[in-house]
Structure 1
Amino acid sequence: MTAAEPLRPDLARELIDRATKAAARRAKRLRNQLDAVQLGQDRHADHADAKVLRRVLAEHDWPGHRLVGPEAARAAWSLALHADDDADFQRAATILLERAVQGGDARIQHWAHLYDRTLVNSGRPQEFGTQQAVTATGVVLCPVRALDALDQRRASIGLSPIATGLEKVRLRCARDHPVDDSSTVVLAAVA
C-alpha cells in the first residue's frame, strides 16, 4: 500500500458518493427545482447522510486523510457542514474535526468553516467570516466577532481576505444559484 492510498477506500467511496448526491440535491433546491414531494425526499436523504456520518464518527472519529483520503475527507466535511438540522451533531463533528486538524489529518480551513457554521446556527457571531446568507438582494456576511481583526484571523488559517472571499461567493452564487424569491435565505461558505 502506498502512502496516498486511504486505509478505507470503501468508506471513501461511500462518503464521496453521498456528498456528490447531496450537492446535486442542494443545487436543485437552491434553484427551486423541487416539488413538495422531492423536498421531503431531499430532507430524508440529508438526514440519512447525517446518520451515516454519525456512524462513521462513532467508529473512526473524524474520517481524515489517512483513513479515507483528502477527497473523501472533504466529502465528510461537506456532509457535516450541511447537517444544519442537527446542531448537536454539527458541534460534535466540529470537535472531532478539530482533533484531526491538530493531528495533521484534516484541513484547518474545513474546521474553520464548520466551526463558523455551528456559531451562526446557534445565533452567535462567527469567527472566520466563512458564512453568508444568500438572499434575493444578494450575498450578505453573517455577523462576525471583531470584524476589524477578521482578515488577520483568516490569514492565520490560510484563507484569503474577506473581500476576496465574498466576491468569489457572489460570482458563484450569481452563476450557479440564482435566487428569485425574496424570502429565501441560504447559508453559503466563503473560501
Structure 2
Amino acid sequence: MNHDLAADLHRRAEQDQAARRLMLETGDGRGLVRVDADNTAWLRQAIATHGWLGISLVGEQGADEAWLLAQHADRDLDLQRQVLGLLQDAVADGEAQPRHLAYLTDRVLVAAGEPQVYGTQYTRAPDGKLQSYAVADPEQLDARRAAVGLESAAEYDRRMRGRDPEAV
C-alpha cells in the first residue's frame, strides 16, 4: 500500500467535504470551485502515474476518497468518463466498490443529458425541493440498485430529503 498517496487522498477528501459544508452554510461556492479544480488536476496526474487508485494501492478508505474526488470533478467530464472505464475494471478486479461505479455512471449520464441508471443523482426543482433526475426503466430501478449494494430508491429518497432542510 502507498501510505503517502493514501494520506494525500485523505487530506484532499477532507478539504472537499469542508468546502461543501462551507458552501451550504454560507452560500459562497468560490472555495468549493477552487478545491474541486485543485483536486481534479491532482487526480488526473495521480491516475496518469498510478492508474486507478484502488484498494490494494491506497486501502479501502483511500479508494473511497479517490472515487469522491472523481465524483466531484464535474468540470472535467473527460476525466469522469476516463475514471468510469477504470472503475469498471477495478470493480471487476475487486479494487473498487460497485456502488462507486453506480454513482459515477449516473453522474456522467446526467451530465450528458441522459437518464440515469441507478437513481443516485438529484437536482433542485423550480419550487426549491429536491427531485431525482430522470431514470431509465424505473420499474427495474430497485433491482439494479440492489445488484450494486444500494438501498431501495424509496429509502434513498427519504434519506436525501432528510438531509435537505428545504425538502419539507
Q: TM-score, normalized by length of structure 2?
A: 0.92
Deviations 1:58-100 (A, max 9, x none): 1111111110011111111111101111111111111111111
RMSD between aligned residues? 1.6
Q: Which runs of 5+ in 1 are unaligned?
A: 1-6, 180-191
**Structure 1 residue 139 corresponds to structure 2 residue 124:** no
Aligned length: 166
**Structure 1 residue 92 corresponds to structure 2 residue 96:** no
Aligned AA (1:54): R
Q: Which runs of 5+ in 2 are unaligned?
A: none
Task: Name the % identity.
Answer: 37
Structure with bigger RCO (C-alpha 8 Å, 6+ apart): 1
Task: Determine the structure 2 residue equivalent to 1:112.
Answer: 102
**Paired residue secondary structure (1:80):** helix
Residue 75 of structure 1 is aligned with which of 65, 70, 73? Answer: 65
**1:137, CA displacement in angstroms?**
2.9
More helix by share: 2
**1:33, CA displacement in angstroms?**
4.2
Work out the CA distance in 2 between the residues paired with 1:111 and 1:87.
15
Work out the CA distance in 2 between the residues paired with 1:30 and 1:130.
20
Deviations 1:105-159 (A, max 9, x none): 1100011101110000111000011111145632201110011111111111111
Q: TM-score, normalized by length of structure 1?
A: 0.82
Moved more, 119-128 or 55-64: 55-64
**Structure 1 residue 160 corresponds to structure 2 residue 154:** no
Deviations 1:20-60 (A, max 9, x none): 111110121133343xxxx4443122111001111111111
**Paired residue secondary structure (1:71):** helix
